[in-house]
């Protein structure tokens, strides 16, 4: 305080003699105390140097892999088997900090590490009761004991005090508090409030209720006796004691305390989280030094899908496993990663990550093949293909059920996953080029050592991984741009050009209009909350791998089911085994009606085409348009039907012949009255057995006029089936358990003859050699003998019950 210059200073209340005596006493005291304080400071400095603090290294502890919202997916204990999830005071519920500091150390922010009053109070109560009732330890002293084993003796207490003073000298209060939050014991291998909150309560420490905050505040006092999973009554009594203290201090209201006391003490069985276990293990191996790995996984969705997989596989044969990958099309972030059906099941080889395991893809590559053929201008969505026994330079593919359908469209061949048409298209595209395009889109096919790409790859004659397959299928929702699934938010997005936007749209439209007769499939013609689901299945040779991949506006879902050891699972294939599970997962996904729809690109338009020639209906004479179909056409390309291979006598497509007045064919040196030219639309020779009578008649060449030299336009010499007569009725012998067998011949045939029973391939013969067929069931049957150049014969018969 300042005074005016004219005012005299206030008088000193002490006489001059007394003032002199006090001054001399203070000086004498300082002379005695300062050396002592200096000596104590030097002693403290020396002790601090001789016995330095051993603080936990900041990067030590367990590793926790987290979902995108911070939920732990899997914890990896440290070298001592401890689970600890790093956390800061700012990440902990304020309710917990209130309860902790109020109950354990109200003067935490005011004392230098030791509270003398608390120590004296603890000593007094110990003398009164004969044992320690209150230890008088501050939170800093508790941290000292946590980070260093100190015996519960008088000497140990002195060491604890010394360490507490050291902590206060070297660390801030916030740092000391953080040490407690991360290293306090909570029972078993659990250390730290975050690990305890997840282990006992299944929630982060940031979302604790009043009752939960009180429980976790008191638990480190005697964790072995207060563990809520083992001693819920003792835990409740200790919790309520903290609640009463909070009420008495006026920090929590009576209403809050009443509600908290009603809340039961319910704890989960103490276990580390174990969702997306194999992804967590994969990321932990990639980042062994990381202590906190945040993924793109949706914790709730992951848990729900894992439960669904466990329930679903309980109905399948033992040792069957499964893998599921769900990717957000917009970001390529994985939301669900199920690498195994049961992580802890050795019979299912639960340690094998089937999301990454190389397996035969079956028919799942066919959409990319047809998309590439569209981009090359080879086909439209309704181009005519032939599903019949064919020989591709010695490679003779068959369909999954050994049956054939004759003439089919591209869309039908893809939807029904027919093998022969796909091999035919791959033969035109080229295996090497197809494999290269797949690699560019993220699917690196694994081939046997020393092998080169061949036609078998489209039927599963190579290997790929589920994550690569799912990444490639996102192209059907992203305008032909595929990508690599992302498991970490910081992972760079890798976009790969696979198909044009138009080709991707056409293929997705074909796949999304394929009705599925399986459990949980959307009804035909209905649009659910995800829009139409475009889907494709696949089954590898020997029933080793069953696949299903689905694409919606927002999501791509891939499902694999099989045995990790590659053992066949007869009867388990994509459409029956994996497809229902895929639809079930799609139904669990968040609504995506707000996402952009599958908008038709400008490069795609609808055009009517004609079979068998394949050209546009607008430019095809009406009498040559045997079947009219509406096709999706890319960039205006309307290609003709594929030319036949290895056929010398038959010429598919448009054939022009000269005929006379009677309509008989004239060869080159032959002439007749009213000679004129007619055009005939010829079907591919191998489609002949499946043609309607009218189509077959319209495609037949007129007979050669008498006295005209052969012109080599006729089909190869006709054949007929010997051994049975047309329309014969057969009866199986009484009491016979064996199928009825018949022996037949293809008379007039040259070279190989394929034999079909009701459209299913039964075997082959050469020339007019005998062929034995088994007729397995009663009813009407049709037998077809078909040569490579299109000559065929058919025989209808019936088998009566004995």
Q: List beta partners, residue 537.
A: 548
pLDDT of residue 649: 47
Who has greater pLDDT, 303 or 687? 303
What pairing do the DSSP bridges indicate for beta strands 740-747 and 760-766?
A: unpaired
| Matching residue, tokens 């599921």 | 324
Domain 63-262, what architecture?
Answer: Orthogonal Bundle (1.10)
Is pLDDT above 50 for 1? no
Q: In whole angstroms, how far apart are CA 456 and each of 172, 376, 447?
A: 69, 21, 11
Quote the CA–CA distance of 545 and 578 in Å, as a whole number: 10
| Matching residue, tokens 């109070």 | 121
pLDDT of residue 330: 93
pLDDT category, 710, cuts 50, 70, 90? confident
Residues 6+ away with beta carbon under 8 Å from 695: 626, 627, 683
Is pLDDT above 80 for 194? yes
Quote the CA–CA distance of 112 and 103 in Å, as a whole number: 18
* Average pLDDT of the residues in 431-454: 92
* Average pLDDT of the residues in 546-575: 93
Q: Could you tell me if 514 and 415 are in contact, meaning their C-beta atoms sit under 8 angstroms apart? A: yes
**Positive or negative CA dihedral for 412, 414, 416, 417?**
positive
Q: Beta-carbon neighbour count of residue 662 at 10 Å?
A: 12
Who has greater pLDDT, 75 or 484? 484
Structure tokens at 182: 């991360």
pLDDT of residue 155: 81
Most confident of 194-208, 316-330, 706-720: 316-330
Who has greater pLDDT, 81 or 217? 217
pLDDT of residue 40: 57
Q: Which of 62, 93, 104, 383 is catalytic?
A: 104
In three-state secondary structure terms, 293 is strand
Lowest mean pLDDT among 267-271, 294-298, 714-718: 714-718
pLDDT of residue 133: 46
pLDDT exceeding 70 applies to what percent of the chain? 86
pLDDT of residue 10: 59
Lowest mean pLDDT among 136-140, 276-280, 492-496, 555-559: 136-140
Phi, psi of 765 (to 5 degrees): -135, 175
Over residues 747-802, the pLDDT tens digits come to 777 788 888 888 888 888 888 888 898 887 788 888 888 887 777 888 888 888 76
Quote the CA–CA distance of 235 and 239 in Å, as a whole number: 6
Question: CATH 3.40.630.10: does it fit domain 720-800?
Answer: no
Quote the CA–CA distance of 425 and 407 in Å, as a whole number: 14
The one-character DSSP state at 403 is B
Quote the CA–CA distance of 634 and 745 in Å, as a whole number: 47
Among residues 667, 647, 669, 643, the alpha carbon closest in space to that of 657 is found at 667
Q: Beta-carbon neighbour count of residue 10 at 10 Å?
A: 8
What pairing do the DSSP bridges indicate for beta strands 728-731 and 792-800?
A: parallel
Over residues 375-394, the pLDDT tens digits come to 999 999 999 999 988 888 88
Is pLDDT above 90 for 521? no
Burial of residue 783, with CB atoms counted within 10 A of its CB: 0-12 exposed, 13-18 middle, 19 or more buried: buried
Most confident of 125-129, 270-274, 439-443: 439-443
Residues 6+ away with beta carbon under 8 Å from 320: 313, 341, 348, 561, 562, 563, 569, 572
pTM for the full predicted model? 0.80
Q: Which of 93, 363, 500, 765 is catalytic?
A: 363
Structure tokens at 106: 């109200």
pLDDT of residue 164: 87
Over residues 641-665, the pLDDT tens digits come to 998 775 544 556 888 889 999 989 9
Q: Could you tell me if 147 and 129 are in contact, meaning their C-beta atoms sit under 8 angstroms apart? A: no
Structure tokens at 763: 């075997």
Quote the CA–CA distance of 675 and 705 in Å, as a whole number: 12
Is pLDDT above 60 for 114? yes
Average pLDDT for the chain: 86
Among residues 386, 381, 384, the alpha carbon closest in space to that of 367 is found at 381
* Average pLDDT of the residues in 31-48: 63
Q: Could you tell me if 509 and 503 are in contact, meaning their C-beta atoms sit under 8 angstroms apart? A: no
Quote the CA–CA distance of 96 and 180 in Å, as a whole number: 13
Element (H, E) at 409: strand 406-409
Angle CA 381–385–388, to nearest 5: 150
Quote the CA–CA distance of 220 and 461 in Å, as a whole number: 60
What pairing do the DSSP bridges indicate for beta strands 779-787 and 292-294?
A: unpaired
pLDDT of residue 594: 61
* Average pLDDT of the residues in 266-295: 86
Structure tokens at 100: 């902790």
| Matching residue, tokens 């908008």 | 599
pLDDT category, 676, cuts 50, 70, 90? very high
In three-state secondary structure terms, 337 is strand
Q: What's the order of all strands across the beta sheet hosting 321-328?
A: 334-338, 321-328, 555-562, 545-551, 534-539
* Average pLDDT of the residues in 701-716: 79
> Three-state SS string across 564-586, please?
CCCCCCCCCCHHHHHHHHHHHHH
* Average pLDDT of the residues in 333-349: 90
| Matching residue, tokens 């035109």 | 428
Is pLDDT above 60 for 16? no
pLDDT of residue 406: 92
Residue 363 annotated as catalytic: yes
Who has greater pLDDT, 187 or 58? 187
Is pLDDT above 70 for 203? yes
pLDDT of residue 2: 47
Q: Could you tell me if 617 and 515 are in contact, meaning their C-beta atoms sit under 8 angstroms apart? A: no
Give the residue extent of every domain in the chain: 16-50, 63-262, 653-699, 720-800
Q: Could you tell me if 535 and 558 are in contact, meaning their C-beta atoms sit under 8 angstroms apart? A: no
Q: In whole angstroms, how far apart are CA 277 and each of 302, 338, 340, 647?
A: 11, 8, 9, 57
Is pLDDT above 80 for 225? yes
Quote the CA–CA distance of 687 and 314 in Å, as a whole number: 45
Over residues 685-706, the pLDDT tens digits come to 888 888 888 888 888 888 889 8
Q: What is the per-residue burial (b if ≥16 Cβ within 10 Å, else e) of 569-579?
A: beebbbbebbb
Over residues 659-669, the pLDDT tens digits come to 999 989 998 88
| Matching residue, tokens 């607008």 | 618
Angle between helices 139-147 and 94-104 (to 10 degrees): 100
Quote the CA–CA distance of 506 and 368 in Å, as a whole number: 11
pLDDT category, 250, cuts 50, 70, 90? very high
Quote the CA–CA distance of 798 and 781 in Å, as a whole number: 6
Lowest mean pLDDT among 26-35, 54-63, 790-799: 26-35
The one-character DSSP state at 345 is -
pLDDT of residue 19: 54
pLDDT of residue 17: 52
Q: DSSP string covering 648-708, please?
A: SS---EEEEEEE-TT--EE-TT---TT-EEEEEEEPPGGGGGGS-HHHHHHHSPPPBPTTP
Q: Beta-carbon neighbour count of residue 542 at 10 Å?
A: 13
Is pLDDT above 80 for 734? no
* Average pLDDT of the residues in 137-156: 86
Lowest mean pLDDT among 134-138, 485-489, 526-530, 686-690: 526-530
Quote the CA–CA distance of 389 and 787 in Å, as a whole number: 9
| Matching residue, tokens 């936990």 | 56
* Average pLDDT of the residues in 153-170: 85
Angle between helices 254-262 and 210-218 (to 10 degrees): 70
H helices within 171-291, ranges in order?
173-183, 193-196, 210-218, 223-226, 232-248, 254-262, 277-286
Who has greater pLDDT, 531 or 661? 661
pLDDT of residue 530: 60
Q: Could you tell me if 744 and 770 are in contact, meaning their C-beta atoms sit under 8 angstroms apart? A: yes
Preceding omega of 683 cis (within 30 degrees of 0)? no
Cα pseudo-dihedral 515, 611, 370, 435, rounded to 10: 140
Q: List beta partners, residue 800.
A: 731
Residue 36 CA, chain-centre distance (Å), reads 71
Among residues 423, 413, 363, the alpha carbon closest in space to that of 392 is found at 423
Element (H, E) at 56: none
Q: In whole angstroms, how far apart are CA 670 and each of 664, 665, 677, 703, 707?
A: 11, 9, 13, 13, 8
- Going along 435-491, which residue ranges are E strands? 481-483
Phi, psi of 67 (to 5 degrees): -75, 175
End-to-end CA distance of the chain: 127
Quote the CA–CA distance of 717 and 719 in Å, as a whole number: 7
């Amino acid at each position: 305080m300042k005074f005016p210059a004219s005012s005299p200073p206030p008088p000193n209340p002490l006489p001059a003699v007394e003032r002199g005596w006090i001054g001399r006493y203070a000086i004498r005291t300082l002379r005695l105390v300062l050396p002592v304080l200096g000596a104590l400071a030097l002693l403290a400095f020396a002790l601090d140097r001789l016995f330095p603090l051993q603080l936990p290294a900041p990067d030590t502890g367990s590793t926790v892999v987290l979902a995108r919202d911070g939920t732990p997916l899997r914890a990896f204990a440290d070298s001592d088997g401890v689970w600890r999830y790093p956390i800061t005071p700012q990440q902990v519920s304020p309710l917990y900090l209130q309860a902790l500091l109020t109950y354990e150390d109200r003067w935490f922010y005011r004392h230098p590490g030791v509270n003398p009053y608390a120590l004296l109070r603890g000593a007094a109560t110990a003398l009164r009761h004969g044992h320690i009732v209150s230890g008088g330890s501050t939170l800093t002293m508790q941290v000292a004991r946590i980070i260093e084993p100190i015996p519960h003796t008088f000497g140990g207490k002195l060491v604890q005090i010394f360490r507490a003073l050291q902590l206060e000298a070297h660390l801030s209060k916030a740092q000391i508090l953080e040490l407690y939050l991360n290293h306090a014991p909570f029972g078993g291998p659990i250390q730290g409030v975050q690990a305890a909150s997840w282990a006992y309560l299944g929630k982060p420490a940031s979302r604790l209720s009043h009752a939960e905050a009180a429980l976790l505040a008191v638990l480190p006092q005697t964790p072995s006796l207060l563990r809520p999973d083992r001693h819920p009554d003792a835990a409740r009594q200790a919790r309520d004691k903290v609640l009463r203290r909070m009420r008495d201090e006026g920090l929590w209201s009576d209403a809050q305390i009443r509600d908290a006391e009603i809340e039961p003490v319910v704890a989960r069985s103490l276990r580390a989280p174990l969702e997306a276990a194999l992804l967590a293990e994969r990321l932990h191996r990639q980042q062994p030094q990381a202590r906190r790995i945040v993924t793109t996984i949706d914790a709730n969705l992951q848990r729900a899908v894992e439960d669904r997989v466990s329930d679903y596989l309980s109905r399948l044969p033992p040792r069957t496993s499964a893998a599921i990958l769900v990717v957000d099309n917009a970001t390529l972030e994985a939301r669900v990663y199920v690498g195994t059906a049961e992580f802890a099941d050795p019979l299912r080889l639960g340690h094998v990550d089937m999301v990454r395991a190389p397996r035969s893809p079956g028919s799942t590559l066919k959409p990319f093949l047809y998309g590439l053929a569209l981009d090359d201008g080879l086909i439209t969505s309704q181009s005519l293909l032939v599903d019949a026994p064919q020989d591709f330079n010695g490679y003779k593919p068959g369909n999954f059920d050994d049956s054939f359908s004759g003439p089919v469209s591209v869309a039908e061949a893809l939807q029904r996953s027919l093998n022969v048409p796909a091999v035919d298209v791959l033969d035109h595209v080229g295996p090497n080029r197809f494999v290269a395009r797949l690699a560019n889109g993220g699917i690196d096919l694994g081939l046997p050592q020393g092998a080169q790409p061949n036609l078998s790859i489209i039927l599963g004659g190579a290997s790929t991984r589920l994550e690569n397959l799912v990444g490639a299928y996102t192209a059907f929702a992203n305008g032909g741009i595929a990508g690599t699934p992302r498991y970490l938010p910081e992972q760079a997005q890798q976009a790969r050009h696979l198909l044009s936007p138009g080709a991707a749209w056409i293929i997705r439209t074909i796949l999304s209009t394929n009705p599925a007769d399986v459990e949980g499939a959307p009804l035909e013609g209905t649009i659910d909350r995800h829009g139409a689901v475009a889907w494709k299945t696949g089954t590898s040779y020997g029933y080793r791998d069953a696949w299903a991949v689905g694409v919606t506006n927002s999501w791509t879902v891939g499902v694999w089911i099989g045995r990790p050891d590659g053992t066949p699972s007869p009867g388990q294939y994509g459409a029956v085994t994996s497809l229902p599970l895929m639809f079930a997962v799609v139904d669990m996904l968040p609504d995506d009606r707000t996402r952009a729809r599958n908008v038709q690109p400008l490069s795609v338009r609808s055009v009517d085409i004609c079979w068998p020639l394949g050209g546009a209906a607008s430019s095809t004479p009406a009498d040559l348009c045997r079947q009219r179909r509406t096709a999706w056409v890319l960039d205006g390309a309307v290609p003709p039907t594929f030319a036949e291979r290895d056929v010398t006598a038959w010429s598919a497509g448009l054939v022009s012949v000269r005929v006379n007045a009677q309509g008989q064919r004239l060869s080159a040196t032959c002439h007749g009255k009213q000679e004129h030219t007619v055009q005939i639309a010829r079907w591919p020779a191998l489609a002949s057995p499946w043609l309607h009578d009218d189509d077959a008649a319209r495609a037949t060449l007129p007979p050669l006029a008498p006295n005209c030299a052969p012109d080599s336009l006729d089909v190869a010499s006709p054949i007929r089936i010997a051994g049975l007569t047309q329309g014969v009725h057969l009866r199986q012998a009484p009491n016979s358990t064996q199928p009825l067998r018949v022996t037949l011949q293809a008379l007039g045939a040259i070279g190989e003859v394929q034999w079909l029973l009701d459209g299913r391939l039964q075997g082959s013969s050469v020339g007019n050699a005998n062929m034995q067929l088994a007729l397995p069931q009663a009813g009407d049957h049709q037998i077809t003998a078909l040569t490579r150049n299109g000559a065929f014969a058919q025989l209808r018969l019936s088998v009566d019950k004995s």
